[in-house]
Amino acid sequence: MTDVPKFNKSPWVVHFNCNSCNGCDIEFLACLTPLYDLERFGILHVGNPKHADVLVVTGSVNHRNSRVLKNVYDQMPEPKVVVAMGVCASTGGIFADGYNVLGGVDKVIPVDVFVPGCPARPEAMIDGVLKGAQILEAKHSGKTPLAEKNVITRTPTPVAAPAAQEKGASHA
Partner 1 sequence: MIRRNTIPFGPQHPVLPEPIQLHLVMENEKIIQALPAVGYVHRGLEKIAEKKDFIQDVYLAERICGICSFMHSQNYCQGIEELMKVQIPDRAKYLRVIWAETHRIHSHLLILGLLADAFGFENLFMRLWKVREQILNIMEKTTGARVILGVCAIGGVKRDITPELGEYVLRELDSVEKQLPELMDSLLKDYSVKQRLVGVGVLPKDKAHELGAVGPVARASGLRMDLRETGYAAYGDLDFKMVVGEAGDCYDRTMVRVKELYTSLDLIRTALKRMPQGPISVAVKGSPPADEVLARIEQPRGELNFYIRGNGTRNLERFRVRTPTFANLPALLHQLTGCELADVPVIAICIDPCISCTER
Query: Quick check: 21 binds partner 1 (CB under 8 A)?
Result: yes
CA distance 54 to 15: 8
Choose the contact partner of 70 out of partner 1, ligand SF4, none; CB within 5 to 8 A by kind.
none
CA distance 79 to 11: 11
Query: Quick check: 97 binds partner 1 (CB under 8 A)?
Result: yes
Q: Where are the beta strands (DSSP E) in 26-171?
A: 44-46, 54-58, 61-62, 81-85, 101-103, 113-115
Site string for partner 1, 114-143 (x = CB under 8 A): ----xx-xx---------------------
Cβ burial, residue 146 (10 Å; 0-12/13-18/19+): middle
Sole binder of partner 1 in the list 2, 6, 8, 47 (CB under 8 A):
47
Side-chain-facing half-sphere of 41: CA atoms under 13 Å: 25
Sequence length of the chain is 172
Return the number of the residue (57 or 136) whose C-beta is nearest ligand SF4: 57
15, 40 contact by CB (below 8 A):
no
Closest CA to 109 of 54, 51, 148: 54
- Binding region for ligand SF4 (CB under 6 A) out of 4-12, 36-44, 82-90, 132-140: 82-90
Query: Quick check: 118 binds ligand SF4 (CB under 6 A)?
Result: yes
Sole binder of ligand SF4 in the list 23, 79, 98, 156 (CB under 6 A):
23
Query: Quick check: 73 binds partner 1 (CB under 8 A)?
Result: no
Site residues (vs partner 1, CB under 8 A) = 16-27, 29-30, 33-35, 46-49, 59-60, 62, 64-65, 68, 72, 94-95, 97-101, 118-119, 121-122
